[in-house]
Amino acid sequence: MIYTLKNAKIYANKKIEKKDILIVDGKITKIDLDINEGKIIDCKNKLIAPAFIDPHVHSREPGYEYKETIATVTKAAAKGGYTKVFLMPNLNPVPSNLRDLNLILNIIKKDALIDCYQLASITKNQTGKGELSDIEFMAPYVVGFSDDGKGIVDSKMMYEAMLKAKKYKKAIIAHAEDETLLYGGVIHKGKYSEEKNLPGILSASETVQVARDLVLAELTKVHYHLCHVSAKETLDLVKYYKDRDVNVTVEATPHHIMLNEDDLKDNGVYKVNPPLRSKEDQKAIVEAIKNGLIDMIATDHAPHSEEEKSKGLLNSSFGMVGIEISFSLLYTYLVKQNKVSLEKLLDMMSINISKAFEIENNEIIIGNMANLVIIDLDKEFIIDKNKFVSKGKNTPFNGYKCFGQIIMTISKGEIIYELQ
């Protein structure tokens, strides 16, 4: 198949300029002005960027298909402009051995619309303690190891996991949480928790474990990736260790960037782990994006049933969805408010992730597979959770006004999503 994407502005080589893109048999073969080969797709007044990569997604299959499946989550990702996602191991069975990992990989091969990079667990059955997973046997088939949803309790276990991950050139992808400091918390321990007499989660529960992990990461020289950073004190630690050339990367989520405890209501859609923290924490996260301390955007897309999210802050499940709306939210509330450049946002949603994890990139260069997202930056729309492709509707952003509509997503030259 041969076609030309015409009249767009493209983001390539760190700059945005008007060019056409010729795609032949799935690959980018020419980038120039006035190309007129094959089928013509007019992209006037649109931006073409490298398709997005999400390093933190919950597929829920196998084990929890009523929340989400590989098929539905990859369709939702395509609608959001993504052609690659990392899938977390909170599944049943947990991929802590090669047999159970292969079960998941076979579902991905059968049902996935886009490229899926499955993670395996650090500990057997993702308990955060006990026994390490079969890291050496699973390493060739995964991008990294994570016990996302649980912190690794035992320091010796984390140290030994890092040694193995380093040996096999894989990342430790950490949900940093000292469970001894949780106190049954359901939201951030701060103003709102005190006013409503709700059990709070200390910021220190994150920061204490990150401190330990960064000491061990420096010792083992592993690639240590910090999931969903939420606390300003954590960022201070990250800066210290990045300045020491420790191989640490950090992700932030749209909800931690855009919301804080002042936005809380007694509604389960606001309950997430780590929780929405103080306004000062939120400001520190935005500042860390500006100065490059935070490397990438991850949605932590975590679908739940309506029933599971209908029990208020105290009893609802933790988690939010967001893979279909992440770019539009951040373009509207960061870029258009002059907090972050468009180029930086695009890098944080694609190029930075492929570099950090050494996976195939989506850059717009001749010879690459055409993994592209076409965006109408001027198109205004209202987020409507009832139009989500994901089974999960649990978002606090329902009704938000946004710009930056995803018009088309192209994976390996194939159009896998087009706005109707």
Which residues are annotated as catalytic? 300
Are 23 and 2 within 8 A, CB to CB? Answer: yes
Look at residues 375, 383, 369 and name the one whose alpha carbon lies nearest to residue 419.
375
Are 332 and 383 within 8 A, CB to CB? Answer: no
Distance CA 344, CA 334 (A): 11
* Cα 99 to chain centroid, rounded: 26
- Cβ-based neighbour number of residue 203 at 10 Å: 22
Per residue, the 3-state secondary structure of 367-406, as one string, reads CCECCEEEEEEEEEEECCHHHCCCCCCCCCCCCCEEEEEE
- Cβ-based neighbour number of residue 339 at 10 Å: 16
Distance CA 83, CA 219 (A): 35
Which residues are within 8 A (CB) of 98 and not within 5 positions of it... i.e. 6 or more apart? 134, 137, 138, 141
Distance CA 25, CA 382 (A): 36
Look at residues 51, 112, 54, 107 and name the one whose alpha carbon lies nearest to residue 411.
51
Distance CA 95, CA 101 (A): 5
Look at residues 394, 398, 420, 419 and name the one whose alpha carbon lies nearest to residue 409.
419
Residue 26: enclosing H or E segment and its boundaries? none
Distance CA 388, CA 105 (A): 25
- Six token digits for residue 272: 């997430």
Sheet holding 171-174, edge to edge: 144-145, 171-174, 223-226, 248-252, 296-297
Distance CA 31, CA 199 (A): 56
Are 296 and 55 within 8 A, CB to CB? Answer: yes
Distance CA 19, CA 32 (A): 5
